[in-house]
Amino acid sequence: MTRVETIIPANKHAEPILSIRNLSKVFPLQSGFWDGVIGRMTGLEPKAVHAVDNVSLDVRAGETIGIVGESGCGKSTLARILAGISQANGGQFLYRGRDIQDYLKNPRDALKIQMIFQDPQSSLNPRLQVIDIVGEAPVVHGIIPRSQKKDYVLGYLEKVGLGAEFLYRYPHQFSGGQRQRIGIARALAVNPELLICDESVAALDVSVQAQIINLFMKIKAEFGLTMLFISHDLGVIRHLCDRVVVMYLGRVVEVAPTERLFSDPRHPYTQMLLEGMPKISLERRKFLSIEGEIPSPINPPQGCHFHPRCAFRTEHCSQKRPDLVSLEEGRHIACLNWQGTSPPPIKSGGGYAQSENA
Amino acid sequence: MSEPCANPQPSKPETLLEVEKLNTWFFTRKGVVKSVRDVSFHVEKGEVLSVVGESGSGKSVTGLSILRLIDQPGRIVSGAIRFNGTDLATLSEEEMRSYRGNRIAMIFQNPMMTLNPVQRIGDQMAEAISEHEDLPQSEVMRRCIEALKAVGIPSPEERMKAYPHEFSGGMRQRIVIATALVTQPDLIIADEPTTALDVTIQAQIIHQTRKLIDETGAGMIWVSHDLATVSELADRVVVMYAGAVMEIGTTAEIIGSPRHPYTQQLLNSVPSRNEPGKELFQIPGMMPSLLSLGEGCAFASRCSARRPACDQPIPPEHLSATHTVWCVRAKEEGDAA
């Protein structure tokens, strides 16, 4: 299943640091012996989850890209592939123009891509002190001699807002926000170029979340980082990102510069997502019922994955897979009826504004 | 049995639950953790009261205290929990059982931990009824189907036979809500019920919850950390910090004109209230340890407007019939922060 999709280009001013083409990740569901035998006898296509389905994307240096979507949309799988933790089954992944597998062969190069996880509790070794958590990789990889470890670690702890008194403590002695700061210090300590943050502020309280978001903005400017920010929280994405990629069941449905996406969403799913986003407001929101559930990624709908929940579906939506096409400068959308989804239907009284009991 | 009134009369609110000077403390080896300190509020019929706060604010413990679900080493030290005139704090464990899941229902954050994975959902729901009432099987079934319909589960007759793992996360949470509804409770306590759900599913659940409360006239306590969902759903809001109530008011008062510095700063640190790309407003410092709280305002150590009076016990300031603030500066002109 190789298909050429329109590529999501980065801004033309800068060289893409990372570019992926038709990247796919399939998790096969059959694993038992008899599944294999039956599969071969019947010749049926084995059951599989297409976690990432033909995704193409360019990220230029210094950019912050947001990837949003709900459970099962493949955003975390994509993040793990881009971080080199898991491998794609199909497509091309170039980092600085070199194939990623070739690039990762040199351990010093591999350090250039770092990841920060959602749960700092489970991503820090509970038996190591902070000085080792942060300082181990730079020493092992020869970035600094062992004798300088303490000063080096201290420097990075200060950059993330922690003091010298934390050097010899263990992860369980910290609060959630402090642990996330240690995770960030660990990632920074190996001089990365690309930072992949997978729901890195999702588990934090509002006031702590604000502190960590500010820290991300500070280190991005200070270290000239390129960032991929994966989140389900549209408020966080809007605050941090230059461009946003919206995913649904493994596929990219819309890509646009952040402000344009939020002010004028075009894909029906993006519109639904923005409409469902809770907002702090004094007006009692008139709740509009959102139709349908997120389908299982094991058995996604034919054609456009979103069509069973879409208010604008036509008969060919269930047959033809929409390609990602350029709508305007910087904006790409995968919808067969995209002309029909503008302006946002919510304002024109159609679309989702149907009563629950209708 | 006492049915909740089908048509609530908004003109004459009736008090359903009154919590007065509630103190729930945990007696740990390290010392006494005062998770809930002198918390007072009330819930009226047909309203959603939201208790908001961050981790460690005592919001969940408050909810659990009402149902007396506090385990050792914690206990309710003092205070009254008057539900329809009965003080739940003085009831025996046996008497309390007739309230739990019957007159007062609870919904937890993770539906997979609430539902029994090896029992069909219809049986679980039926059990909730038969635990408290002796009804013919057909009536039990009718009620279950009705409750599932009310939360928007399609073809409930067939889905009753399904197991929890056959449902999606959003569906499971709806089943938990339906199970809470089958006994037609007067009060529903929901602890972060939509936190684990996706945005579009969360919007559905909030929509249905609001509809159910308006239709049944039951009261609801919605415990949450998410100010946005609270502003969309709640009638009144209780803001908690480090075990104590900082501010109580209608949603419009709390969101529109908050008077406690903590409420103001919490609202200001939400990304959507800041200009994108600019540094977010952040509250300096950290929440104090619940082991070593003084007499005064718990927020004082992080407050920019601190003064000596903050270290004394803070008297409540009633700014309106509905709006009460525990801050020494509350009566002063203009915003405190």
Residue B139 lies in a domain: no
Indicate the residue type of B197. Answer: L
Residue B49 lies in a domain: yes
Integer Cα distance of B274 and B280 in angstroms:
6
What single DSSP character describes residue B100? B
A contact set with B (CB within 8 A) = 70-71, 175-177, 205-211, 213-214, 217, 232-236, 238-240, 258-259, 272-273, 275-282, 284-285, 287-290, 293-294, 296, 356
Integer Cα distance of A293 and A300 in angstroms:
12
Residue B265 lies in a domain: yes
Integer Cα distance of A124 and A118 in angstroms:
11
Q: Is B240 on the interface with A (CB under 8 A)?
A: no
CATH number at residue B67: 3.40.50.300
Cβ contact, residue pair A206, B256, below 8 Å = no
Integer Cα distance of A159 and A182 in angstroms:
10
**Full DSSP string of B226-286:** -HHHHHHH-SEEEEEETTEEEEEEEHIIIIIS--SHHHHHHHHTSGGGS-TTSPPP---S-
Sheet holding B15-28, edge to edge: B31-44, B15-28, B74-83, B86-87
What single DSSP character describes residue A316? G
Contact B276, A259 (CB under 8 A): yes
Structure tokens at B28: 């740990």
Integer Cα distance of A72 and B123 in angstroms:
30
**Neighbouring residues of A82: CB distance < 8 A, sequence distance ≥ 6:** A18, A20, A93, A113, A194, A196, A228
Residue B164 lies in a domain: no
Beta bridge partners of B83: B17, B86
Contact B132, B101 (CB under 8 A): yes
Q: Which residues of A touch B201 (CB under 8 A)?
A: 70, 293-294
pLDDT for the residue numbered A340: 61
Cβ contact, residue pair B54, A208, below 8 Å = yes
Residue B20 lies in a domain: yes
Cβ contact, residue pair B271, A213, below 8 Å = yes
Angle between helix A130-140 and A149-159 (nearest 10): 120
Q: For B288, which residue in chain A has the nearest alpha carbon? A: A175
Residue B73 lies in a domain: yes
Tens-of-pLDDT digits for all 337 residues of chain B?
Answer: 444 444 444 446 789 999 999 999 999 998 999 999 999 999 999 999 999 998 889 999 999 999 999 988 999 999 999 999 899 999 999 999 999 989 999 998 888 888 999 999 999 999 999 988 899 999 999 999 999 988 888 888 888 999 998 888 888 988 999 999 888 899 999 998 888 788 888 888 888 888 889 998 999 999 999 898 899 899 999 999 999 999 999 999 999 999 999 999 999 999 888 888 889 998 888 888 888 888 899 999 999 888 999 999 999 999 999 999 999 988 775 544 4
Q: Where are the beta strands (DSSP E) in chain A?
A: 16-28, 48-60, 64-68, 90-95, 98-99, 113-116, 194-198, 226-231, 243-248, 251-257, 325-328, 331-333
Structure tokens at B337: 């922060």
Q: Which residues of A touch B206 (CB under 8 A)?
A: 278, 287
C-beta atoms surrounding B50 within 10 Å: 25
CA angle centred on A352, ends A349 and A358, rounded to 5°:
95
Q: How far is CA A38 from CA A26, A41, A50, in A?
A: 20, 5, 21
C-beta atoms surrounding A290 within 10 Å: 21
pLDDT for the residue numbered A228: 94
Q: Which burial class, exposed, middle or buried, applies to B34 when counting CB atoms under 10 A from its CB (0-12, 13-18, 19+)?
A: buried
Q: Which of residues 95-154 of B touch A (CB under 8 A)?
A: 152
Q: Is B289 on the interface with A (CB under 8 A)?
A: no
- Chain-centroid distance, C-alpha B307: 32
What single DSSP character describes residue B314? P
- Does residue B73 have a cis bond before it (omega within 30 degrees)? yes
- Does residue A343 have a cis bond before it (omega within 30 degrees)? yes
Integer Cα distance of B202 and B205 in angstroms:
5
Structure tokens at A321: 């897979």
Cβ contact, residue pair A210, B282, below 8 Å = yes
Q: Which of residues 248-267 of B touch A (CB under 8 A)?
A: 251-252, 255-256, 265-267
Contact B126, B134 (CB under 8 A): no
Sheet holding A194-198, edge to edge: A113-116, A194-198, A226-231, A64-68, A243-248, A251-257, A331-333, A325-328
Tens-of-pLDDT digits for all 358 residues of chain A?
Answer: 334 444 555 455 567 899 999 999 988 876 677 767 777 777 666 677 888 999 999 999 999 999 998 877 888 899 999 998 888 988 999 998 889 888 888 888 889 999 998 887 888 999 999 999 999 999 999 999 999 999 999 999 999 989 888 999 999 888 888 999 999 999 999 999 999 999 888 888 888 899 999 999 999 999 999 999 999 888 899 999 999 999 999 999 999 999 999 999 999 999 988 888 888 877 766 655 556 677 777 788 889 999 988 888 888 888 889 988 888 888 899 998 876 665 444 433 333 333 333 2
What residue numbers bound the domain in which B207 lies? 15-103+185-325
Q: How far is CA A330 from CA A250, A259, A264, A327, in A?
A: 21, 12, 13, 8
Query: pLDDT tens digits, residue range B107-151?
Result: 988 888 889 999 999 999 999 999 888 999 999 999 999 999 888
Q: Measured between CB atoms, which of A213, A277, A289 is closest to B280?
A: A213
Contact B198, A232 (CB under 8 A): yes
What single DSSP character describes residue A69? -
* Tally of structural domains, chain B: 1
Integer Cα distance of A355 and A357 in angstroms:
6
H/E run at residue A178 = helix A176-188
